[in-house]
C-alpha cells in the first residue's frame, strides 16, 4: 500500500506541475504585454519597456517561470494589481468563506445522495428508480445559476422567507450567517446530489447482484439485515471516493454560485480578478483551487485503499 500511496503522490506532484505551467501560460504569457496593460495606450514605448524590465517580463520564459514558482514556494503569491496589495491575505480570507459554504452544502447532500441512491437501487427498474435517476441527472446538469435563480425567485422574492444575499455583514451572529448561506447552498446540493446518488445506486446494484448477497438471503437472513450488514458496507465504498472528489469540485465550482449570491469566497475573488485583469490574483486563486482539488482527490484515493480490506491486506501489488 505504501508503494501505491507514493505512486499516487508522485502523480499528484506531476499534475500540480502541469497546472502551474498552464496557469503560468494563461496568466503571464497569453495576456500580452503587462507594461502596456498597466500604463495604457498613450504611454511611450520606452516607458513600457522600462516597466517590463522592472517587472521582469522581458526575460526568457523559463527564467520567468522559475522566478514565479520559487516565489510561490516561499509564500510570495505576488501583488494584486487591482488592490495594489499582496495577494496572500485575500486568498486566505476568501478560502475560509468558501469552506463555510461548501461545508454546509456537503452536510446536506451526503446523507441525501446516499439515501436517494440506495432507495433507487432497491427499487431497481421501477418508477422510484427512474424518477430518482432522471431527476438526479437533471439536477446535476442544470447550471448552478439557473437553479440558484429559481430558489431566489421562490424563497427570496415570492415568499420572502430567506435573504437573497449570502453575506450576513460584518459581525453577524453564526445563526444569521447560517440563514444567509441556506439559499446559496441549495444549487450546490442539487449539482452534487446526482453524482453521489448515481454512485450509491451503482454500488448497491452491484452488491445486490453479488454471490454473497444471494448466499446471505438463501441462508435465511432478513432482507433488512442483508441490506444493512452485507450490501451497504460494500456498496458505499465507491461512493466515498466520489464524495471526496466532489469536495474538490465543490470548492472549485463555487465561482458561479458565489458570484450570483455575491458571497466573498474564492470563486467570487477569481471572478472579480478575471474581470479586472488582475492576473497575479487570478493565478493564485486558480492554483489554490487546483491544490484543494488535488488534495481532495488524493485523500479520496488513499481513503478508498484504507477502507477496502482487499486492497489493504492484499496490498502486495
Partner 1 sequence: MTDDVAAPAATVAVARVRGEMPPWRLLLRRPTFIVGAAILLFWVVCAVFGHMIAPQDPLAQQLLATNSAPSGAHWFGTDQLGRDVFSRVIVGARSILVISFFATVIGTVAGTALGLAMGYLGGVIDIVGGRIVEAVLALPLVIVAFLFVVAVGPSPQTIIIVIGLVFTPLIARTVRSAVLVERQQDYLASARLLGENRTYIMFVEVLPNVVPVVLVEFTVRLGYAIFTVAGLSFLGFGVQPPTPDWGADISVNYGVLPAGYWWMTLFPALAIASLVIAINLVTDSIEQVLAS
Q: Is 276 in the site for partner 1 (CB under 8 A)?
A: no
The answer to whether 25 touches 64, Cβ cutoff 8 Å, is no
Residues 167-196 that bind partner 1 (CB under 8 A): 195
Q: Is 61 in the site for partner 1 (CB under 8 A)?
A: no
Binding mask 13-42 for partner 1 (x = CB under 8 A): -xx--xx--xx-xxx--xx-----------
Q: Is 299 in the site for partner 1 (CB under 8 A)?
A: no
Residues with Cβ within 8 Å of residue 199, at least 6 apart in sequence = 117, 238, 239, 241, 242
Q: Is 297 in the site for partner 1 (CB under 8 A)?
A: yes
Among 185, 271, 280, 284, the residue binding partner 1 under the rule CB under 8 A is 271
CA–CA dist 191, 198 (Å, integer)? 12
Residues 212-251 that bind partner 1 (CB under 8 A): 242, 245-246, 248-249
Smallest separation, CB 138 to partner 1 (Å): 5
Smallest separation, CB 275 to partner 1 (Å): 7
CA–CA dist 257, 245 (Å, integer)? 19
Q: Is 55 in the site for partner 1 (CB under 8 A)?
A: no
The answer to whether 112 touches 136, Cβ cutoff 8 Å, is no
Q: Is 132 in the site for partner 1 (CB under 8 A)?
A: no
Q: Is 306 in the site for partner 1 (CB under 8 A)?
A: no
Smaller CB separation from partner 1, 213 or 300: 300
What is the b/e burial string over 147-165, where b = at least 16 CB atoms within 10 angstroms of the residue's CB? bbeebbeebbeeeeebbbe
Greatest CA separation found in the chain? Answer: 88
Q: Is 121 in the site for partner 1 (CB under 8 A)?
A: no
The residue count for the chain: 317
CA 214 to the chain's CA centroid: 38
Residue whose entry in the numeric block shows the C-alpha cell 458561479:
256
Smallest separation, CB 222 to partner 1 (Å): 31
Smallest separation, CB 26 to partner 1 (Å): 4
The answer to whether 241 touches 157, Cβ cutoff 8 Å, is no
Number of residues that bind partner 1 (CB under 8 A): 60
| Segment (H or E) for 145 | helix 144-151
Among 102, 104, 118, 144, the residue binding partner 1 under the rule CB under 8 A is 144
Among 260, 269, 281, 284, the residue binding partner 1 under the rule CB under 8 A is 260
| Segment (H or E) for 86 | strand 85-86
| Segment (H or E) for 152 | none
User: How many C-beta atoms lie closer than 10 Å to residue 254's C-beta?
Assistant: 30
Write out the residues near partner 1 by the rule CB under 8 A: 11-12, 14-15, 18-19, 22-23, 25-27, 30-31, 130, 133-134, 137-138, 141-147, 149-150, 152-153, 156-158, 164-165, 195, 198-199, 202, 242, 245-246, 248-249, 252-253, 255-256, 259-260, 270-271, 274-275, 282, 286, 289-290, 293-294, 297
Amino acid at each position: 500500500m505504501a508503494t501505491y500511496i507514493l505512486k499516487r503522490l508522485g502523480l499528484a506532484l506531476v499534475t500540480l506541475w502541469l497546472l502551474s505551467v498552464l496557469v503560468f501560460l494563461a496568466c503571464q504569457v497569453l495576456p500580452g504585454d503587462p507594461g502596456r496593460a498597466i500604463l495604457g495606450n498613450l504611454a511611450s514605448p520606452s516607458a513600457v519597456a522600462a516597466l517590463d524590465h522592472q517587472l521582469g517580463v522581458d526575460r526568457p520564459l523559463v527564467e520567468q517561470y522559475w522566478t514565479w514558482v520559487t516565489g510561490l514556494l516561499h509564500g510570495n503569491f505576488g501583488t494584486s494589481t487591482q488592490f495594489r496589495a499582496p495577494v496572500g491575505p485575500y486568498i486566505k480570507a476568501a478560502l475560509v468563506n468558501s469552506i463555510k459554504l461548501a461545508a454546509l452544502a456537503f452536510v446536506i447532500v451526503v446523507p441525501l445522495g446516499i439515501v436517494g441512491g440506495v432507495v433507487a437501487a432497491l427499487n431497481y427498474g421501477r418508477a422510484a428508480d427512474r424518477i430518482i435517476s432522471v431527476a438526479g441527472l437533471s439536477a446535476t446538469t442544470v447550471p448552478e445559476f439557473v437553479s440558484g435563480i429559481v430558489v431566489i425567485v421562490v424563497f427570496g422574492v415570492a415568499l420572502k422567507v430567506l435573504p437573497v444575499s449570502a453575506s450576513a455583514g460584518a459581525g453577524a451572529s453564526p445563526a444569521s450567517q447560517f440563514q444567509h448561506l441556506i439559499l446559496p447552498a441549495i444549487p450546490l446540493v442539487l449539482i452534487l446530489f446526482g453524482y453521489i446518488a448515481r454512485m450509491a445506486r451503482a454500488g448497491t446494484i452491484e452488491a445486490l447482484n453479488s454471490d454473497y448477497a444471494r448466499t446471505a438471503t438463501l441462508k435465511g437472513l432478513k432482507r433488512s439485515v442483508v441490506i444493512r450488514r452485507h450490501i451497504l458496507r460494500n456498496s458505499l465504498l465507491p461512493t466515498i471516493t466520489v464524495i471526496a472528489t466532489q469536495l474538490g469540485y465543490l470548492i472549485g465550482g463555487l465561482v458561479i454560485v458565489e458570484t450570483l449570491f455575491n458571497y466573498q469566497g474564492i470563486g467570487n475573488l477569481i471572478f472579480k480578478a478575471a474581470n479586472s485583469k488582475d492576473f497575479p490574483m487570478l493565478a493564485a486563486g486558480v492554483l489554490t483551487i487546483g491544490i484543494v482539488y488535488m488534495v481532495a482527490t488524493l485523500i479520496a484515493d488513499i481513503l478508498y485503499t484504507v477502507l477496502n480490506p482487499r486492497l489493504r491486506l492484499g496490498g502486495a501489488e
